[in-house]
Structure 1
Amino acid sequence: MIELRELTKRYGEKTAVDGLTFSVRPGVVTGFLGPNGAGKSTTMRLMIGLDSPTHGDVRIDGEHYDRMREPLHSIGALLEAKGVHGGRTAYNHLLCMAQSNGIPERRVGEVLEMVGLQDVARKRPKGFSLGMGQRLGIAGALLGDPRILMFDEPVNGLDPEGIHWIRTLMQHLAREGRTVFVSSHLMSEMAQTAQHLIVIGQGRLLADTSMNQFIAENSRTYVRLRTPEPERARDVLLEAGHRPVTAEDGSLEVEGARAATLGELAAERRLVLHELSEQRASLEEAFMRLTAGSVEYHAHDLPEGSAGGPGEAASGEPGEAASGEPGAAGAPAPAWGENWRKGQGR
């Protein structure tokens, strides 16, 4: 178990983590969510002693990380996939980690095979792709067969097979009773992987709840009906005490009712239905709604009919890529760099 109590980290006048108190329990995959700049990476660094808190406390199975003699037996972490010595082979990188924590050498070969890197074990990681680097980082996290595992953006650079593999691995580890804590910006992947969520914004705790409860509390759920008799259907629903709303496509949306109840009502009144379905928001929609007031970095849409190449944002600020559609008259978008060259008189 990971336990945080009033954990706070300040850098000068900037508060990156602000009084966080929560626990990460064993037996489930716990997702760690927040907008860019929310303090997720800082929090995870504080958990394993890479930063020192300004105030508060964090414990790993009741101990401070820096007091553990062989921490890889207790917690394995992937925070930075490229944080390896580029001159060592993948095998020797893991061997050094193993020797520093009293882990037998045979375990190095086991984890390399587990993550699919046995064929490149004698190659240097500086030539690895991002996905291969991720796999090596995951191997390092698994090296000590720890009871607690922590991953920051573990699917970055992985292909579909790799994403499915790490998702299945995390769920398997949780079913074994281990504590699994994972941070990611990929909401669709998190929705398939995690059962519990910790959400922060601007360093503060916004939610500590189950996945289902989080979506239910932060999104709109309704039943959609499509019928060739929309006006009559609306009258039937109003008479039964419901408050239908007509959507842009002509369907009716009813909140606070079960699909089965509305289906029985339609059958009783001999109302023909072409669709009767419960609509639930995605994790992404629920997350966007909860964190709307905590987003530190906002992107902006391009004005209609304009276009910009890489590095030319709608706001005119460098470094933010943007894309646009051809203008209303169907004129093609300027080639990359064209607007910049015009601005330079070229």
Structure 2
Amino acid sequence: MIELEGLTKRYGDKVAVNNLTCTVRPGIVTGFLGPNGAGKSTTMRMILGLDRPTAGDVRIDGKHYDQLKDPLTYIGALLEAKAWHPGRSARNHLLCLAQSNGIPDSRVREVLDAVGLTSVARKKTKGFSMGMGQRLGIAGALLGDPRILMFDEPVNGLDPEGIHWIRNMMKSLAAQGRTVFVSSHLMSEMALTADHLVVIGQGRLLADTSMPEFIARNSRAYVRIRTPQRERLLDVLQQAGITAVQNGNGTLEVDGGKSEQIGELAARHQVVLHELSPQQASLEEAFMQLTAESVEYHAHAEAPPQAQAPARAQQQQWGADWRRS
């Protein structure tokens, strides 16, 4: 278990993490979400003792990281994909980690096989692709067979097979009763992997809840209806006290989860339905809704060349007018 209590980190005037309190529990995959600059990486670094908190506390199974004897046997982490010497082989990199934490050499062979790097175990890591680097980083996290695992963007550089593998591996580790804490910007992947979410924005906690509750609280649920008897159905719904909104594409929308009631009403009044489908926002849509006010870096699309040209001409005319004045 990872416990954060009032965790705060300042860099001069910049507050990277602001009074963050939450608990990452065993037995589930906890997703760690937030916009760029939200403080996710800083939080993970403080958990591992790489950065010292300005205020607050963080404990790993009740202890600070620097109190852990052989820490790789308590917590394994992937924070940077290429945190190794490029002149070392994958096997030697893991052997060094194993010897520093009292882990038997036989475990190196096991994790290399688990991540699919046995065939390149003796090759120097400087020739590794990004995906191979991710696999080696994951092998390092698994090396001590820890009860707690922490991954920052674990699917970067992986092919579809690799993404499927890491997703199932994290679920399997959580099913064994381990604590799994994973940060990612890939919302579609997080939706398939995480059971619980911790969401931060500008260093502050925005949500600490289950995946279904997070989506339900931060999105709109409605029923979409298509029918060739639209006016007839509108009358039927109105008589039943149900408000339907006509959409521009010929469909009707009813807020809330009333699909069964609508279907029964339509059948009772012999209204033909071509579509009756409950709609729920995706994790990405709910995340965007919640964090809209917390995004620090906004991108703005450039105006197309044909739109820029009149603007430049206008600016040149203003310049000529100013010089004449």
User: 1:119-146, CA deviations, whole angstroms, 9 ceiling, x for partnerless residues?
Assistant: 1101111111110000000000000000
SS in 2 for 1:206: strand
- Most deviating of 253-262 and 68-77: 253-262
- Most deviating of 236-245 and 94-103: 236-245
Cα distance in structure 2, aligned partners of 1:307 and 1:128: 45
1:55 counterpart residue number: 55
2:189 counterpart residue number: 189
Residue identity matched to 1:99: Q
- Larger helix proportion, structure 1 or 2? 2
Counterparts of 1:123-272 in structure 2, within 5 Å, are: 123-272=123-272
Whether the 8 Å CA contact 2:20–2:203 is kept in 1: the answer is: yes
2:44 counterpart residue number: 44
Cα distance in structure 1, aligned partners of 2:138 and 2:104: 18
Cα distance in structure 1, aligned partners of 2:122 and 2:168: 27
Unaligned regions of 5+ residues in structure 2, if any?
309-325
What is the CA distance between 1:148 and its match in structure 2?
0.2
Unaligned regions of 5+ residues in structure 1, if any?
309-346
SS in 2 for 1:50: coil
Cα distance in structure 2, aligned partners of 1:168 and 1:218: 27
Q: Note closer, same or farther for the CA distance 1:38–1:267 as it changes in structure 2 (3 Å cut).
A: same
SS in 2 for 1:198: strand
Q: Note closer, same or farther for the CA distance 1:305–1:274 as it changes in structure 2 (3 Å cut).
A: farther
Whether the 8 Å CA contact 2:89–2:122 is kept in 1: the answer is: yes
Residue identity matched to 1:153: E
2:72 counterpart residue number: 72
What is the CA distance between 1:69 and its match in structure 2?
1.6
- Most deviating of 118-127 and 161-170: 118-127
Cα distance in structure 1, aligned partners of 2:113 and 2:140: 12
Structure 1 segments of 4+ aligned residues over 2 angstroms from their partners: 301-308
Q: Note closer, same or farther for the CA distance 1:131–1:65 as it changes in structure 2 (3 Å cut).
A: same
What is the CA distance between 1:185 and its match in structure 2?
0.2
Cα distance in structure 2, aligned partners of 1:31 and 1:41: 13
1:276 counterpart residue number: 276
What is the CA distance between 1:87 and its match in structure 2?
1.3
Cα distance in structure 2, aligned partners of 1:285 and 1:307: 30
Q: Note closer, same or farther for the CA distance 1:292–1:101 as it changes in structure 2 (3 Å cut).
A: same
Q: Note closer, same or farther for the CA distance 1:161–1:307 as it changes in structure 2 (3 Å cut).
A: farther
User: 1:249-280, CA deviations, whole angstroms, 9 ceiling, x for partnerless residues?
Assistant: 11000012421111001111111100000001
SS in 2 for 1:108: helix
What is the CA distance between 1:301 and its match in structure 2?
2.5
Residue identity matched to 2:102: G
Q: Note closer, same or farther for the CA distance 1:306–1:62 as it changes in structure 2 (3 Å cut).
A: farther
Cα distance in structure 1, aligned partners of 2:259 and 2:203: 40
User: 1:181-203, CA deviations, whole angstroms, 9 ceiling, x for partnerless residues?
Assistant: 00000000000000000000000
Whether the 8 Å CA contact 2:36–2:295 is kept in 1: the answer is: yes
User: 1:1-53, CA deviations, whole angstroms, 9 ceiling, x for partnerless residues?
Assistant: 00000000000000000000000000000000000000000000000000000
Q: Note closer, same or farther for the CA distance 1:189–1:266 as it changes in structure 2 (3 Å cut).
A: same
The TM-score with structure 1 as length reference comes to: 0.87
Residue identity matched to 1:21: T
Question: Which of 1 and 2 has higher RCO (CA within 8 Å, sep 6+)?
Answer: 2
1:22 aligns with 2:30: no
SS in 2 for 1:137: helix
Counterparts of 1:1-16 in structure 2, within 5 Å, are: 1-16=1-16
CA RMSD of aligned residues (A): 1.2
Residue identity matched to 1:140: G
